[in-house]
Amino acid sequence: MWFMLMFFAGLEIDLPLFRQKIYRSLAFGVVTTSLPLLLGTLVAFWLGYALLPAIVVGSLLASHTILGSTIIARLGATSLEPVVVTIGATMVSDTLSLLVFAVCVPLYASGFSVSGIAIQVIEIVVFIPLVLLGLGRAGAWLLRRVENEEETYFVLMFGILAVTALLAQLINLPGIVGTFLAGLAVNASVKDKPAKGKLEFIGNTVFLPIFFIVTGFLIDPMVLIASISEDFFLAAGIIVALLIGKWIAAESCGRAFGYPAAARRTVWSLTLPQVAATLAATLVAYKTFNAAGQALLDSRMLNAVLIMVLVTAILGPILTQYYAPRMLGEVAKEPVGSR
């Protein structure tokens, strides 16, 4: 189920928008990934978690899901540069955070060794272009051959998803990394195709609800209550680290790019929600064990992350709804030639 979630995340990234402002998107993507990653790692380490689990917590905070995109679309602001740069940075952020996560998971499961890290890095370096370039071209060619046969097209997309997940697991990477890259690889090929719409419909009406139901089964209500009362600083710590990290990234890059205040706040609000990549990676980490049988992320951190997901999924769109119209007002005041 989380394989489908990450495949959709790769499919939904708007590559043409990313290419329009690629250098600014890359710069903001790196900053909005690294700052929450660093702060989240420090907070988790300070609260008693070992280094690898702490880095994994930081990687969970590094990505983001643009839940405010529907608000932006309704306002007609999708073509504004701050929005374009933020959407492009989403691809960078999700990819980098998942790569950090992909390195930590096998290290925790099999133990630290210099040769093991070297082999893992080499495998990742080979795997990424193999999927993005090799599978992207091969998949595009195959999909073009069957684009008039919706059933075959549909099955082929599932096949691509399954193959990349298996290939990722063969080199000790989480399958969600492979499926996310697969979504990016076939992104342009499936754009505006009827089969993509059907796949999204099934995903939104079947797989995603089941995903959240399964996530709900993993939650121990008593532990959740304890997380709010006894482990308040755990949940509050990662939420504050996320808010501060994303705010500093949006403010620093926004000022460097010359964006006005409301635009910087809008960018910040768009990068707050932690849903797709965060949930999928958290569940993988919760089910990853070391030789001693200890989970990479314990139930306390699982519940703290779920609290963060709930808070940011509500707070992000509310702030977008508040700041985005003001961003449009600032743009309207600018001379036509300077927009």
Give per-residue pLDDT as tens, 39-67: 999 999 998 899 999 999 999 999 887 77
Give per-residue pLDDT as tens, 182-240: 877 777 677 666 666 776 677 667 666 666 676 666 666 776 676 667 778 888 999 99
Q: Which domains, from first to last, does the chain contain?
A: 2-338 (1.20.1530.20)
First to last CA, the chain: 43
Cβ 108 vs Cβ 290: under 8 Å: yes
Longest dimension (CA), the chain: 64
Residues β-bridged to residue 295: 289
Give per-residue pLDDT as tens, 95-154: 788 788 878 888 887 776 667 677 777 887 888 888 878 877 887 788 778 777 777 877
Q: What is the DSSP letter of 271?
A: T
Dihedral in degrees, nearest 10, Cα atoms 150, 152, 156, 162: 110
Name the packing angle between helices 150-170 and 136-145 (round to 10°): 160
Q: What is the DSSP letter of 338?
A: G
Question: Strand, coil or helix: what is 239?
Answer: helix
Helix (H) or strand (E) holding 10: helix 2-12
What distance in Å separates the CA atoms of residue 322 and residue 2, rounded to the nearest whole number? Answer: 31
Q: Compute φ and ψ for 61, nearest 5 degrees.
A: -75, -20
Helix (H) or strand (E) holding 252: helix 232-257
